[in-house]
Amino acid sequence: MKLFRHGAPGSERPGLLDAHGVRRDLTGIIVDVVPGTIGPDALRRLARLDASRLPEVDPAERLGPCIGEVGNVIAIGLNYADHAAEAGLPLPKQPIVFSKHTAAISGPDDDVWLPPGAAKLDWEVELAVVIGQPAWHVPRERALDVVAGYCLANDVSERAHQLEMDGQWIKGKSYPTHCPLGPWLVTADEVPDPQAVELWLDVNGTPRQRGSTRTMVFGVAEIVSYLSRFMRLLPGDVILTGTPPGVGMGQRPPQFLRAGDVVTLGSPQLGQQRQCVVDAPLPAR
């Protein structure tokens, strides 16, 4: 199945994409696409629905992030060999783990905000893993069993804040709108091999990233198992699994996003996103 959320920010409602690609509303069937509705039993009940009987959703309506009430966004750095090479860094011996603030999450086609004074805003297309049931010390051979599904993500990063200031990467990863998720939460049964997902990203129509999860240093099962050694993964947790080469920092010379730029990204398995870069609408003083 492909689940989604639609409506104004903060008021999203659940939806399902039917076999013909028609958007259907799940209001009244489930409360939302949230941790309590993406467990194995809940997904099996949804799969038995006759989607053709559900109300249609206007395709012009905004899509929100495909999973709501996310507790944690955990990310893996330098997880593609060719991306590590373009960054001039050695391959990690263990997964590099960092976090993004959950307030960075936004819809797949929402504007991306340029922070005041930001000069190195970068793009990163990624496969995101959405946990469907608690996972603690889960062995690698069973790690995929706890995955509810997958979605497309853009791990937007302000490189100066990430790399040129003291402290942790989270400062360059957590600005509002810097974690677009969606359009769909694609359930795990539709992605039988998460190591065979193609990813692409363009900026202003120019190809920038082309890659496949088959070139990951650490695969999805290994990442989930590894993380579960250090934390109890919970339903609704999102794991960003790294980005293939072609980020702005890796261009020669480096190229970064400015207001007015348009970023498009996608995957044959996961759908597409489109974001316009705009100056952040700061609160009134």
Identify the band that residue 84 occupies on the pLDDT scale cut at 50, 70 and 90: confident
CA 149 to CA 132: how far, in whole Å?
Answer: 8
Whole-number pLDDT of residue 82: 82
- For each of the domains in the chain, give its residue range(s) and CATH number, in order of start: 67-279 (3.90.850.10)
Span 242-260, average pLDDT: 96
Whole-number pLDDT of residue 87: 77
Question: Is the model's pLDDT at 40 over the cut of 80?
Answer: yes
Give the global pTM: 0.97
Beta strands in the chain, from DSSP E residues, in sequence order: 2-6, 13-17, 23-25, 73-77, 96-100, 105-106, 112-114, 121-122, 125-131, 147-154, 157-158, 179-180, 185-187, 198-203, 206-212, 238-240, 262-267, 271-279
Whole-number pLDDT of residue 27: 97
Of the chain, the percentage scoring pLDDT greater than 90 comes to 93
CA 193 to CA 31: how far, in whole Å?
Answer: 30
CB 182 within 8 A of CB 65: yes
Phi, psi dihedrals of residue 126, rounded to the nearest 5° = -145, 155
Whole-number pLDDT of residue 167: 86
Identify the band that residue 201 occupies on the pLDDT scale cut at 50, 70 and 90: very high
CA 193 to CA 170: how far, in whole Å?
Answer: 30
**What end-to-end distance do the CA atoms of the chain give, in Å?**
45
Span 21-32, average pLDDT: 97
Question: Is the model's pLDDT at 285 over the cut of 80?
Answer: no
Question: Is the model's pLDDT at 54 over the cut of 90?
Answer: yes
CB 186 within 8 A of CB 150: yes
Span 88-115, average pLDDT: 95
Whole-number pLDDT of residue 249: 93
In tens, the pLDDT along 147-162 reads 999 999 999 999 999 9
Span 105-123, average pLDDT: 97
Span 56-74, average pLDDT: 98
Length of the chain counted residue by residue: 285
Whole-number pLDDT of residue 86: 80
- The residue behind tokens 């690609």 is 21
In tens, the pLDDT along 166-176 reads 889 999 999 99
Whole-number pLDDT of residue 83: 80
Span 192-218, average pLDDT: 97
CA 218 to CA 194: how far, in whole Å?
Answer: 12
